[in-house]
Amino acid sequence: MTFDYFNRRLHLYLALSLLPWFLVYGLSSIPLSHGAYFNRLYEDGQPMWTLRFERSYNVPVPDDAELKTIGRRIVRDTGLTGAWGAYRQSADELHVFVYRFRHSVRVIYRIPERKLRVEDARFRWDHFFTGMHARGGFDQDSWLDDFWAVVVDLFCVGLMLWVASGLWMWWRARGLRLWGAIALGAGCATFALFLAAL
């Protein structure tokens, strides 16, 4: 087996292995890039959030609170599962977003009233895709989330390997070097111009 052969097979089989992620990142970038258009598609009077329940709840939230600890406790006490993030919306309000690919939940904790409000998000196809796009990182408690993050890393390494193996294949095809160099040079120059002028 020559290196050229290995390189071609690597390029191909890597692509076939990562195809679902490649398509997800490609498709989800459309609503990310054209958010206003997709928002208009869902302007049909239906609310984005629907109340599931509201109840009394008491957890101390000091000004310098460790949001991760409080968020974890709220998620546990409400029996919700999924990736989550806690945000101090205002001095009086703490929000916890619990996210799964097919369903999201928002928990609003009103600190002065000691009230917990749990709301379900409306399913939207654009959010389904953009949610997958944005998911990543190793800051969740679940090993499944870590596994997803590992796949994200593999995808990034895959992208770099596609570039490297693709460049090699192009360079080995002597007849394509000139036009390839023009395409590569034009791309690099355009990118550099953007960096300098944006």
Partner 1 sequence: MLSRLVRRVHMYLALFLAPWVVMYALSTLAMNHRGFFQPAQSSDEERFQQDKQQIVPLEIAGEIASADASRAVLDSLGLAGAFSARWQNGLLVIHRNDPLAPRRIRFDPKTRLATVEREALTAPMFLERLHRRRGYQHDYTLEDTWAFSVDLFIAAMLFWAGSGLWMWWEMRTTRRLGLVLAFSTTALFAILLIVL
Shorter beta-carbon distance to partner 1: residue 42 or 162: 162
Yes or no: say if 111 and 95 are a contact pair by the CB < 8 Å rule.
no
Shorter beta-carbon distance to partner 1: residue 109 or 129: 129
How far is Cα 96 from Cα 109, in angstroms, rounded to an integer?
8
Q: Cβ–Cβ contacts within 10 Å for residue 105, how many?
A: 21
What 3-state DSSP class applies to 111? coil
How far is Cα 29 from Cα 129, in angstroms, rounded to an integer?
8
Shorter beta-carbon distance to partner 1: residue 14 or 118: 14
172 binds partner 1 (CB under 8 A): no
How far is Cα 184 from Cα 173, in angstroms, rounded to an integer?
15
Shorter beta-carbon distance to partner 1: residue 111 or 132: 132
Yes or no: say if 86 and 66 are a contact pair by the CB < 8 Å rule.
no
Of 7, 10, 27, 85, the residue at the interface with partner 1 (CB under 8 A) is 27
Q: To the nearest whole angstrom, how small is the minimum distance from the Cβ of residue 66 to partner 1?
A: 13
23 binds partner 1 (CB under 8 A): yes
**Cα angle vertex 167, ends 162, 171, to 5°?**
150
1 binds partner 1 (CB under 8 A): no
Q: To the nearest whole angstrom, how small is the minimum distance from the Cβ of residue 109 to partner 1?
A: 23
Q: What are phi and psi of 62, to 5 degrees?
A: -65, 165
Shorter beta-carbon distance to partner 1: residue 21 or 57: 21
Binding residues for partner 1, per CB under 8 A?
A: 9, 12-13, 15-23, 25-27, 29-30, 32-36, 82-83, 100-102, 135-139, 144-145, 147-149, 151-153, 155-157, 159-160, 162-163, 166-167, 169-170, 176, 179-180, 183-184, 186-188, 190-191, 194-198
